[in-house]
């Protein structure tokens, strides 16, 4: 484990997000099994209830009626000695079957090269509060040579003909990542159907795709399908878009799902829309810095089909319910001598901003721990590279985050939410960057917008209501 940056330890609550779903204490990571049942959203997540570091994950559980205010419940399932999940209940799905709620997850037994990953089931009561392991676990084990370096994180759905389908993340150091596809009539007995999609690192030049894929998710808009995968060792998230014949995905385009510190997105079908949550990762340097918590869930995002067949996203409409006080609204002229300051006064801030394309080389936005602290992240557009950048060099010497974003005429439309150490940014509904910030003097959040020459921008900003976002067990 990398040693913490000297002086990086700050008061336990100063950097803790308040708008984001989090357990009261200790470690959380991947979202699992989001589902809507009887008007209540349920979201599970990987959770170490004993410490603020990763270890033998259980499934945490929270529920909501509006996607932004969450009630936490006792853990849904925890590792149990003598079972296929005795060393961890890894990620998976929750579905409604004829038998009621069913959890499909990866059970882990053993460590290192002796680790065995299999698909397991647990059956829930109608309220999704009590879960009982299926005595026939595991229900799926990797075949010989399949998933040599991983076999985990089942994504499960039911087709109109009643058949169940399971995608499993896998991969091989020599061949690259792959997603395996299985079929069942009852969730208990599974047969191999196909390799849904597998690739080598040469298939998508310039796109980091790794050698093992985790947490597969499959969604569609009509006859257009998108596969989302996460790259082993928290190395990013990627989507592939194209046609799907029921067996094989044939992608014609691909891009990062998020260009920053977000991992393992999990999707929920909610009427005619797709909602996604992801894990806002901590920077590894800051995981063991003395805090009693680690990790946060992203705010809900709606996935949309963007121009050019791209997978786009925007904050779900429910996020607007967090707005407490308007801070600014309308057109403003900014320049180097008169930047626009939006003080947070210790609160979370939402900013929606439109900048004309011909002014982008002169525009900048800074998220600062305080206007005088000289600790902030600068957001700007690098026209020479065609990239949106979050420069974090003055906040813990973190590497910059860069996202390809082609703007030809028109406007750059930024939607930014700042919540203590979390920044979620969506640009033109086509690219997203999630960032963590760790100022050593977190005396309050402010957003400063300026330009090297006079620029007219359209801007709206709000102070956000941080009360009662998380409640229930532990709170």
Position 3 scores a pLDDT of 28
Cα separation, 460 vs 58, in Å, equals 41
Mention every residue, 6+ apart, whose C-beta is less than 8 A from residue 174.
Answer: 211
Is 30 a residue of the active site? yes
Instruction: Give the 3-state secondary structure of residue 236.
Output: coil
Position 396 scores a pLDDT of 67
Exactly one of 30, 87, 261, 419 is catalytic; name it.
Answer: 30
Q: Are 331 and 446 in contact (CB under 8 A)?
A: no
Cα separation, 461 vs 320, in Å, equals 11
Position 56 scores a pLDDT of 96
Position 36 scores a pLDDT of 98
State how beta strands 431-436 and 376-382 pair. Answer: unpaired
Q: Are 348 and 319 in contact (CB under 8 A)?
A: no
- Residue 304 CB neighbours (<10 A): 15
Mention every residue, 6+ apart, whose C-beta is less than 8 A from residue 267.
Answer: 34, 217, 219, 228, 274, 275, 276, 303
Q: Are 105 and 123 in contact (CB under 8 A)?
A: no
How far is the CA of 76 from the CAs of 105, 264, 390, in angstroms? 12, 19, 37
Position 2 scores a pLDDT of 28
Residue 121 in tokens: 């089931």
Q: What structural domains does the chain harbor?
A: 26-298 (2.115.10.20), 323-472 (2.60.120.560)
State how beta strands 26-37 and 293-294 pair. Answer: parallel
User: pLDDT 10s digit of each residue in the chain, 475 long?
Assistant: 222 333 334 456 788 999 999 999 999 999 999 999 999 999 999 999 999 999 999 999 999 999 999 999 999 999 999 999 999 999 999 999 999 999 999 999 999 888 999 999 999 999 999 999 999 999 999 986 676 689 999 999 999 999 999 999 998 877 789 999 999 999 999 999 999 999 765 688 888 888 899 999 999 999 999 999 999 987 899 999 999 999 999 999 999 999 999 999 999 999 999 999 999 999 877 765 678 999 999 999 999 999 999 999 999 999 999 999 999 999 999 988 888 989 877 779 999 999 999 999 999 999 976 555 567 899 999 999 999 999 998 876 788 999 999 987 789 999 999 999 999 999 999 999 999 988 877 666 789 999 999 999 999 999 999 999 999 999 9
Among the listed residues 288, 204, 218, the one whose alpha carbon sits nearest the alpha carbon of residue 249: 218
Cβ neighbourhood burial of 23 (10 Å; 0-12, 13-18, 19+) = buried
């Amino acid at each position: 484990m990398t040693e913490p940056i000297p002086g990086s330890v700050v008061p336990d609550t100063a950097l803790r997000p308040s708008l984001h779903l989090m357990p009261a204490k200790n470690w959380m990571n991947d979202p699992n099994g989001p589902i809507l049942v009887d008007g209540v959203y349920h979201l599970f997540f990987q959770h170490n209830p004993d410490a603020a570091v990763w270890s033998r994950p259980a499934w945490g559980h929270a529920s909501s009626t509006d996607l932004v205010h969450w009630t936490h419940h006792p853990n849904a399932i925890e590792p149990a000695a003598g079972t296929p999940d005795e060393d961890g209940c890894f990620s998976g799905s929750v579905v409604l079957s004829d038998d009621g709620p069913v959890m499909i997850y990866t059970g882990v037994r053993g460590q290192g090269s002796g680790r065995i990953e299999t698909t397991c089931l647990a059956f829930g009561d109608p309220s999704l509060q009590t879960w009982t392991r299926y005595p026939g676990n595991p229900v799926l084990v990797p075949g010989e040579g399949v998933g040599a370096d991983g076999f985990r994180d089942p994504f499960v759905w039911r087709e109109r003909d009643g058949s169940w389908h399971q995608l499993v993340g896998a991969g091989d150091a020599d061949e690259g990542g792959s997603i395996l596809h299985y079929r069942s009539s009852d969730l208990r007995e599974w047969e191999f159907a196909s390799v849904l999609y597998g690739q080598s690192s040469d298939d998508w030049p310039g796109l980091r795709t790794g050698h093992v894929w985790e947490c597969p998710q499959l969604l569609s808009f009509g006859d257009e399908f998108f596969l989302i995968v996460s790259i082993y060792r928290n190395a990013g998230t990627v989507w592939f878009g194209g046609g799907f014949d029921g067996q094989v995905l044939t992608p014609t385009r691909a891009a990062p799902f998020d260009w920053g510190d977000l991992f393992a997105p999990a999707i929920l079908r909610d009427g005619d829309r797709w909602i996604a949550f992801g894990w806002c990762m901590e920077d590894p340097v800051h995981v063991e810095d003395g805090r009693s918590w680690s990790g946060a869930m992203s705010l809900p995002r709606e996935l949309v089909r963007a121009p050019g067949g791209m997978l786009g996203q925007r904050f779900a409409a429910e996020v607007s319910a967090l707005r407490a006080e308007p801070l600014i609204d309308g057109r403003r002229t900014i320049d180097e001598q008169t930047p626009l300051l939006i003080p947070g006064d210790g609160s979370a801030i939402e900013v929606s901003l439109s900048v004309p394309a011909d002014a982008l080389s002169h525009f900048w936005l800074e998220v600062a721990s305080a206007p005088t602290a000289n600790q902030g992240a600068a957001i700007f557009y690098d026209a020479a590279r065609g990239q949106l950048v979050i420069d974090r060099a003055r906040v813990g010497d973190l590497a910059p985050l860069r996202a390809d974003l082609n703007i030809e005429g028109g406007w750059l439309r930024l939607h930014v939410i700042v919540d203590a150490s979390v920044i979620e940014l969506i640009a033109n509904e086509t690219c997203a960057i999630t960032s963590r910030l760790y100022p050593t003097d977190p005396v309050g959040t402010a957003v400063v917008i300026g330009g090297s020459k006079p620029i007219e921008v359209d801007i709206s900003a709000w102070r956000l209501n941080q009360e009662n976002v998380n409640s229930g067990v532990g709170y």
